[in-house]
């Protein structure tokens, strides 16, 4: 019997006072083979809402394509921007109505509504449930960071605190989960617009434990060779 395809991801989304910060690692794996080191798992669904994808890349990409089409139809009919809860509901409906086919598609929906001046984070796990949360995590790396997130999260974080929270959570998962890795992609959405940030894996991603010690040793050796 062939082995099932194994995939890995870490995705995080958090509300803060003024918007949302979302982030993901960039590694796409198939079993022990890394098929893409720099994938972008943060997909826009509308001008103000994003889908964070984990599980089967093909399935979640298909979901995002369908939802973008429905968002376009919705906005054309109503002649106004769609709100984030409606976008999340569309994702949930597709997940629920196709739960047998989408058995490896766990997603988060997050965005900012200018009309209500409010950020939204929704977890849309396998099976088609939709739950609003102040912060949400998913993917294979999420099982390693529940304690960290519960400990470090606080209400009404500033933008800087929220970005640091998301980046460190993903970096911690990457240091422990063999299926998460690459770079950390962050997207901040607020009343001023959409801001993307990239933390390169060999430069600005925080390191933990043995990984930190190994990185320091390699850096020291490289500096010694240069001098």
Task: Name residue 118's beta-bridge partners.
Answer: 113
86 an active-site residue? no
* Choice among 7, 9, 10, 43 that is catalytic: 9
For residues 33 and 222, what is the distance between their CA atoms, to the nearest angstrom? 28
Residues noted as catalytic: 9
């Amino acid at each position: 019997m062939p082995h099932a395809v194994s995939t890995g991801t870490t995705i995080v989304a958090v509300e803060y006072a003024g918007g949302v910060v979302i982030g993901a690692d960039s590694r796409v794996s198939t079993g022990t083979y890394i098929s893409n080191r720099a994938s972008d798992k943060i997909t826009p669904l509308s001008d103000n809402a994003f889908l964070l994808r984990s599980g089967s890349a093909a399935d979640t990409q298909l979901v995002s394509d369908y939802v973008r089409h429905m968002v376009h139809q919705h906005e054309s009919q109503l002649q106004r921007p769609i709100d984030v809860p409606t976008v999340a509901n569309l994702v949930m409906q597709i997940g629920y109505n196709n739960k047998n086919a989408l058995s490896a598609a766990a997603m988060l929906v997050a965005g900012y509504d200018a009309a209500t001046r409010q950020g939204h984070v929704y977890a849309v796990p396998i099976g088609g449930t939709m739950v609003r949360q102040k912060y949400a995590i998913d993917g294979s790396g999420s099982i390693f960071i529940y304690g960290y997130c519960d400990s470090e999260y606080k209400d009404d974080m500033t933008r800087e605190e929220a970005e640091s929270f998301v980046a460190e959570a993903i970096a911690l998962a990457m240091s422990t989960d063999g299926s998460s890795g690459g770079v950390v992609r962050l997207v901040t959405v607020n009343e001023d617009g959409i801001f993307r940030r990239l933390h390169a894996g060999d430069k600005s991603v925080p390191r933990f434990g043995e990984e930190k010690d190994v990185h320091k040793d390699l850096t020291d050796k490289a500096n010694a060779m240069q001098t």
